[in-house]
C-alpha cells in the first residue's frame, strides 16, 4: 500500500513523496473478537518480529495487525535506507519533526483500522519509533486532525507506547488550547507508557518527559511505568503489564 504526501509552500507544490509500506502480518483472535490493535515496530525492524511475540500473549479477544514501515533514507543513519515510520535525526522529542512522514504513517494505521466492525474497540501500540507513531496518532485523534489539517476520524480506545517518545511535543500545548473538544477527548483516552531506566537508545528521560507533556495538556488516563535495568528491549514483566492494562481498559472477557 502506498501513501502520497506533499508540502505546499508559497502557493506552489513542492516535493512529493510516495511511501510504499511493506508486508502486514495479522494475528487472529483465538476467542471472541472484541478489540483490534495495530502494533508498530521500531526503526529498522519489520511487522513479523512483533506478530510472533503478540501471538503468544494471553489476550484471546484481540486481533493484532502488524504492518511493516516503508524503506526510506533515515537522517540518524546518515541517509542510509531502512524501514522507518518517519525520518528522524535523533531518537527523542527534541528532534525536528518529519510531519509529512508522521502524517503518512498515522494515515496508514488509521486506514488499517477503518475496516474493522463498528462494535470492535480500536487501539494502537508500538515500540520505540513505533511507540512515537502511536503517540502521534493519539494526538491526531484528540485534535480531530492530522498535522496537515486533514480530518482524523478513527475512534481510539487505547494507546500503548514502549520505549518511545512524543513527536511534535513542542506545539501540542498551543494546538490543544484552541479546542475544548480536544481537551475532553484527551481526558478519556487511556494511554500506557513503559520505559526502561537502562535504555541507551531512547533515553529514559525522553520517555518520562513525554509522559509529563501528555499529562500537562490533559491526558488524565495516563499510566507511566519504569523498569530498573531494562534497556531498549522488552521483557516478560513489561508484556505482563501491557496484558493486564489492556484487559482492564478494554473490558476484555478473556475467552
Residues with a catalytic annotation lie at: 128, 199, 232
State the Cα angle at 140 between 135 and 141, rounded to 5°.
95
* Cβ contacts of 135 within 8 Å, gap of 6 or more: 159, 161, 164, 165, 166, 167, 191, 210, 214
Residue 50 CA: distances (Å) to CA of 130, 207, 233: 11, 21, 12
Calpha distance 163→219 (Å, rounded): 19
Give yes or no for a contact between 156 and 123, defined as CB atoms under 8 angstroms apart. yes
CB contact at 8 A, 87 and 40: no
Phi/psi for 176 (5° steps) reads -65, -40
Q: Is 182 in a helix, a strand, or coil?
A: helix
Sign of CA dihedral 153, 159, 164, 166: positive
Cα dist from 179 to 14, 106, 156, 185, 218, whole Å: 30, 21, 18, 10, 12
Query: Could you give the C-alpha distances from 211 to 8, 29, 238, in angstroms and in order?
Result: 32, 30, 17
Amino acid at each position: 500500500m502506498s501513501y502520497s504526501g506533499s508540502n505546499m509552500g508559497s502557493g506552489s507544490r513542492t516535493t512529493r513523496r510516495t511511501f510504499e509500506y511493506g508486508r502486514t502480518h495479522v494475528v487472529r483472535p483465538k476467542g471472541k473478537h472484541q478489540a483490534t490493535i495495530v502494533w508498530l515496530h521500531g526503526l529498522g525492524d519489520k511487522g513479523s518480529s512483533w506478530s510472533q511475540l503478540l501471538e503468544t500473549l494471553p489476550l484471546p479477544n484481540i486481533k493484532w495487525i502488524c504492518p511493516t514501515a516503508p524503506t526510506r533514507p533515515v537522517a540518524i543513519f546518515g541517509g542510509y535506507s531502512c524501514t522507518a515510520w518517519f525520518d528522524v535525526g535523533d531518537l527523542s522529542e527534541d528532534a525536528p519533526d518529519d510531519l509529512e512522514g508522521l502524517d503518512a504513517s498515522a494515515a496508514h494505521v488509521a486506514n488499517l483500522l477503518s475496516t474493522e466492525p463498528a462494535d470492535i474497540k480500536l487501539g494502537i501500540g508500538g515500540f520505540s519509533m513505533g511507540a512515537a507513531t502511536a503517540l502521534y496518532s493519539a494526538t491526531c485523534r484528540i485534535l480531530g486532525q492530522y498535522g496537515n489539517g486533514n480530518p482524523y476520524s478513527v475512534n481510539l480506545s487505547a494507546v500503548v507506547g514502549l520505549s518511545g517518545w512524543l513527536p511534535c511535543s513542542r506545539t501540542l500545548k498551543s494546538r490543544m488550547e484552541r479546542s475544548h473538544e480536544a481537551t475532553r477527548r484527551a481526558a478519556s483516552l487511556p494511554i500506557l507508557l513503559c520505559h526502561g531506566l537502562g535504555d541507551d537508545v531512547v533515553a529514559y528521560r525522553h520517555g518520562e518527559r513525554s509522559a509529563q507533556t501528555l499529562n500537562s495538556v490533559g491526558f488524565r488516563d495516563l499510566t507511566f511505568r519504569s523498569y530498573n535495568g531494562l534497556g531498549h528491549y522488552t521483557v516478560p514483566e513489561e508484556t505482563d503489564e501491557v496484558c493486564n492494562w489492556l484487559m482492564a481498559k478494554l473490558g476484555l472477557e478473556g475467552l
